[in-house]
Each structure stands twice: as structure tokens, then as C-alpha cells.
Amino acid sequence: MTEPETTPRTGKRVLLAKPRGYCAGVDRAVQTVEEALTLYGAPIYVRKQIVHNKHVVQTLEAKGAIFVEENEEVPEGATVIFSAHGVAPEVYEQARERSLKAIDATCPLVTKVHQEARRFASEDYDILLIGHEGHEEVIGTAGEAPAHIQLVDGPDGVDKVTVRDPNKVVWLSQTTLSVDETLETVARLRQKLPLLQSPPSDDICYATSNRQHVVKEIAPDCDVVIVVGSRNSSNSVRLVEVAVDAGARAGHLVDFADEIDDAWLADARTVGVTSGASVPDELVQQVLAHLAERGFTDVEEITTANERLTFSLPQELKRDMKAAASRG
Ligand code: SF4
């Protein structure tokens, strides 16, 4: 009897994490730039990287987006889009002063943290914002109430915390942190401030925690976990750390498949693959093709959650799209 022709089994396999890649906030932000380019025409200015991914930024640049660091680089009267990470109120003010047409692509889950910060500040709380110093999201959130907010950059930042009234303190966080490290930071804060209040709902977003959860599931079976994502993407960097903490022998972050070093795969039988929340899936497919060329043809997708959340486009853009459509 002749054996049917199949791909030869090599004993090398890939565990592919799901959920991975684009979250609802990134999808909305990228679509916002694309729709703005279609509606208003190029160039469209974007303050900061719309999402922290090299490929996405390069692709939008090729379509006519111009990425700037600050509003003052945008010509007066032009259209500017604020990135998914959110901005401080002063950035809206600067845009008004320069007569810019501002479109806010801040993820609604970041906006929720801004609203919490404003509310607790208005009630005169001291707010301990757990997050990474210098990250755009943290700068934006802290800008909501600088006099009330102090940054706590991980468990080691707890010692420096001082508050006016230990009975009136709340913690908030950046949306893309390590869930486990944040719990550790909060536990350390509680030792110091037993009456510390928690945010009304989780600030670490569903996408961040879901991506970390599935990586924890696959990591113990993996010789190496490859995370597709950029170095300035907080949630992507966290996935590498989570993979190694959860038992993967090694973890590596790559923007593109050709950054994978063959030495990482030399003794590996099982490779885990995932991607950060700002990564289009075509980059993951390129990694799978790269691995298949090296004998990792057996791909098993491990699913721990199905995500269905979507966010509608910013109101100011939708209004203009509707007006354009009614003009025919
Ligand atoms: S990672 Fe979370 S907070 Fe950030 S854009 Fe995505 S859904 Fe929003």
C-alpha cells in the first residue's frame, strides 16, 4: 500500500497563542488614520506613533501619514490625530491654540483610566499610578491631575511613595502592565498603606491580560517563545517576560521573521509564537512560514479566550464621514 503524500513529520512543533495581535483599541486607531487619509487626503499628521509597531507606522507613512512628536510640528490648521495611548489635557489645548483639527484615537480603555484619575483628583485623593516612567500612556494619564498623581514604577518604586492622608489613597495603572507584577506592587503598597483603595474596575485591559494568560498556558511546554512586536511596545515586552517567568527556556522579541536567529531554534522541539496587541497577523504568518522552512511544520493553535470587542471610530471623524457621504 502506498502512503499518501503528506508533509514529512519532523517532531518539531509550534504552539500558536490565541488571542494574540490586534486588540480593539489598536484596530480602531489604525482605522482612524486610514479613514482620515481617505476622507481628507494626505498628508495627515499623527502625534506620536499611532500604535507602537514599526510595520504599522511604516505602512501608514507610505499612505501619507506624517508622524510627529509634538503639535508644534503640525502646520496651523492641519489635521492631527492623537495616538491610542492618550494625551494630557494640555495637548488638546495646544491643538486649539494652533487651530488644528484634532481627532482623538485614544483607546476608550485608556480614556476610562483618565476619567478615574479626574474623578479621584476632584475628590482630593492621592493617586498612585502604577506604570513605566516615560511611557506615553503614563504621561497622558498623569497630565490629568499632576498635583494628585505620583508614579509607582513596579514593586521597587513603593519605598519612595509618600501620601498626605493614608485614608484617602487609590491606585490606578497603565493598561499594558504585567498582571502578576502589578499584583505584587499593589500587595507591597497595601503593606505600607492598608487603606489603599482599588480602581473601580481593572485598569490593565482585557487584551493585555488575555495575551499574558495564553502565553502562561503554552510557555511551560516551549523551548523558546517568539513574541512578534516592537521594543517600544509595552505589552509585547511584557509577553516575553511572562513567557520566561512561566517556564519557557527562552523568550525573544522580533519585529520581523528575518530577525529570528537560527541558533535560538538549534535544540528546540517546541516553539511558542504570539504577538503584541499592536501587531498585524500577517507578521505572525511570516514567522510561521519562516519556522516551517526550518522544519516546524506542525502548528497547534492554543485558544484560551475569544475576543469580540470592537470600538467605533472617534465621533469627530464619524461626523465628517457622514457629512461626506450625504454630499454624495
Ligand atoms: S492594549 Fe488595551 S488599552 Fe491598549 S489599545 Fe489595546 S485594548 Fe486599548
Q: What is the pLDDT of residue 8?
A: 56
Q: Which pLDDT band, with edges at 50, 70 and 90, does 120 fall under?
A: very high
Q: What is the pLDDT of residue 3?
A: 45
Ligand 1 centroid distance, CA of 298 (Å): 31
Q: What is the pLDDT of residue 7?
A: 52
Ligand 1 centroid distance, CA of 182 (Å): 17
Q: What is the pLDDT of residue 2?
A: 45
Q: What is the mean pLDDT of residues 20-30?
A: 98
**How big is the chain by its Cα radius of gyration, in Å?**
22
Q: Is the CB of 53 under 6 A from ligand 1?
A: no
Look over the chain and give the mean of its residue pLDDT values, rounded to a whole number: 96
Q: Is the CB of 208 under 6 A from ligand 1?
A: yes
Q: Judge whether residue 328 has pLDDT over 90.
A: no
Q: What is the pLDDT of residue 1?
A: 43
48-100 pLDDT, tens digit each: 999 999 999 999 999 999 999 999 999 999 999 999 999 999 999 999 999 99
Q: What is the pLDDT of residue 10?
A: 73
Q: Pairing relation of β-strands 65-68 and 44-47?
A: parallel
Q: What is the pLDDT of residue 11?
A: 87
Grid cell in block for residue 5: 503524500
Q: What is the mean pLDDT of residues 176-188?
A: 97
Single-letter residue type at 195: L
Q: Is the CB of 109 under 6 A from ligand 1?
A: yes
Shortest-distance Cα residue to atom 8 of ligand 1? 25
Q: Is the CB of 26 under 6 A from ligand 1?
A: yes
Residues annotated as catalytic are 137
Contacts of 63 (CB under 8 A, 6+ apart): 34, 37, 42
Q: What is the pLDDT of residue 6?
A: 52
Q: Judge whether residue 25 has pLDDT over 60.
A: yes
Q: Judge whether residue 267 has pLDDT over 70.
A: yes
Q: Which pLDDT band, with edges at 50, 70 and 90, does 114 fall under?
A: very high
Ligand 1 centroid distance, CA of 24 (Å): 7
Question: Cβ(179)–Cβ(212) under 8 Å?
Answer: yes
Question: Cβ(130)–Cβ(174) under 8 Å?
Answer: yes
Q: Is the CB of 236 under 6 A from ligand 1?
A: no
Q: What is the mean pLDDT of residues 145-159?
A: 97
Q: What is the mean pLDDT of residues 152-178?
A: 97
Q: What is the mean pLDDT of residues 242-267?
A: 98
